[in-house]
Amino acid sequence: MDTKIIQAAEKYRDDMTKFLRDMVAIPSESCQEKDVILRIKQEMEKVGFDEVRIDKMGNILGRIGHGKHVIAMDAHIDTVGIADPKLWSCDPYKGKLENGIIYGRGASDQEGGMASMVYAGKIIKDLGLEGDYTLWVTGTVQEEDCDGLCWDVIMKEKVLDPAPEIVVITEPTNLNIYRGHRGRMEICVRTHGVSCHGSAPERGKNAVYMMAKIANEIEKLNDRLHVDPFLGKGTITISYIDCKTPSLCAVPDEAYIHLDRRLTAGETEEIAVNEVKDAVKRAGFEVGKDADVEVLTYTTPSYTGYVPNFKKYYPTWVLEEDHPGCVAAVEAYKDTVGPTPKVDKWTFSTNGIATMGLHKIPTIGFGPANEIYAHTVEDQCPVDHLVKAAAFYAAFPAKYLAAIKK
């Protein structure tokens, strides 16, 4: 174990605690992250980052060092909403500290990762751990609305140039190492019927009845989807349904379903779209005439006014266990956390869909807090996790440089 790094991380326990509590106390739902971004900027400057900047989308980027090998560590700093505040046992925007655990919206998902990363930068500075690498710590926006969008912008706009050769995603892993997750897609199906008076439905063509047959085929499709031994099964489900009708005394002439498609290894956008089109055909309808199938697009402006145009296809990604990034993560874990890490995968989706899924940058995951608390009224992060994660992040760059030389 690297006692110097561990002791340095412990030294900043109180600072990390305060920083995370401050972030939790700032409401920062997707597209409303400005205030928490400015709070992060303040902390990065306080601990001595070499450069701190905010890009045109509103992501914050802090730099340590200026070496050849570019490493990025990422935390999305937007959160979901709080739903019914009466269901919370504490104020979700107070950052309550009790028995060594910080409670509140964003504590686990995933401002805890940001607190640990910033102080990892401080530890690197304190201990003189800079080497032939440039470390970028990124606080990214709109992930909850559209995971990966922020990194797609960073890459396409060359916000980081040269681009990173490895990315560490700091979403909650319960201090385990994660090397991938299923991808996902958002697909809509619209049926086109013929409206008529509800007293004589035989004169029309009910779009809801048409959709009911398609929905039945979608349910059957889910049972046939591929199973991967590591990532698990692909899935598809209807997450929303609606219709258009001239009145409640009329036959609807349009129906709509929103599909949540989870993609396992080997499943692509083309495969998933064709499967849905096949479901339409199995229901007895013609695609393009009776029904349309479409992959949706995200165009909601960021808090800076940046308007994206992002297709809601979020590719699956898996990093090989023998990749230098994974090897480095295991070694950093052994030096700072414990003897034997659990190497696993996320259940949900992360910005890794862009870093590795779209842009093929090797990506690994390690973060404080347990993902089971994400998006719940028990959102929480143990302070001990912040300390251990900071030590891990401080150790990782040197371990990565050693791994790529082997």
Sign of CA dihedral 96, 100, 102, 103: negative
pLDDT digits (tens, 9 = 90+) for 145-187: 999 999 999 999 999 999 999 999 999 999 999 999 999 999 9
pLDDT digits (tens, 9 = 90+) for 197-246: 999 999 999 999 999 999 999 999 999 999 999 999 999 999 999 999 99
Percent of the chain as helix, strand, coil, to the nearest 5: 35, 25, 40
Domain boundaries, the chain: 3-181+316-405, 183-298
**How far apart are alpha carbons 335 and 399 in whole angstroms?**
10
Partner residues linked to 344 by β-bridges: 178
**How far apart are alpha carbons 31 and 66 in whole angstroms?**
31
The stretches of 25-176 forming alpha helices (DSSP H) are 34-47, 112-127, 149-156
14 included as an active-site residue? no
**How far apart are alpha carbons 251 and 286 in whole angstroms?**
20
Q: What percent of the chain has pLDDT over 70?
A: 100
pLDDT digits (tens, 9 = 90+) for 60-113: 999 999 999 999 999 999 999 999 999 999 999 999 999 999 999 999 999 999
Q: Are 186 and 252 in contact (CB under 8 A)?
A: no
Residue 330 identity (one-letter amino acid):
V
Range 3-181+316-405 classified under CATH 1.10.260.40: no
Query: Cα 306–20–184 angle (5° rounding)?
Result: 50
Q: Is 85 exposed, middle or buried (0-12, 13-18, 19+ CB in 10 A)?
A: exposed
pLDDT at 406: 78
Q: Check residue 162 and report its DSSP letter.
A: S
Six-digit token pair at 123?
Answer: 């530890």
Kindly indicate the confidence band of residue 258, based on its pLDDT and cuts at 50, 70 and 90. very high
Q: What percent of the chain has pLDDT over 90?
A: 100
pLDDT at 332: 98
Q: Strand 101-103's sheet: what is its strand order?
A: 96-98, 101-103, 380-382
Exactly one of 2, 55, 74, 78 is catalytic; which is it? 78
Exactly one of 143, 152, 171, 217 is catalytic; which is it? 143
Q: Are 127 and 4 in contact (CB under 8 A)?
A: yes
pTM: 0.95
Other Cβ atoms within 10 Å of 167 Cβ, number: 26
**Region 8-26: what's the mean pLDDT?**
98
**Alpha-carbon separation of residue 389 from 64, 76, 226, 386, 405 (angstroms):** 17, 16, 35, 5, 25
**How far apart are alpha carbons 113 and 104 in whole angstroms?**
14
Any idea which residue has 């940058």 for tokens? 361
**183-298 maps to which CATH number?**
3.30.70.360
pLDDT at 109: 97
29 included as an active-site residue? no
Instruction: Please list, in sequence order, all residues whose beta carbon lies within 8 angstroms of the beta carbon of residue 209, skipping any fewer than 6 positions away.
Output: 193
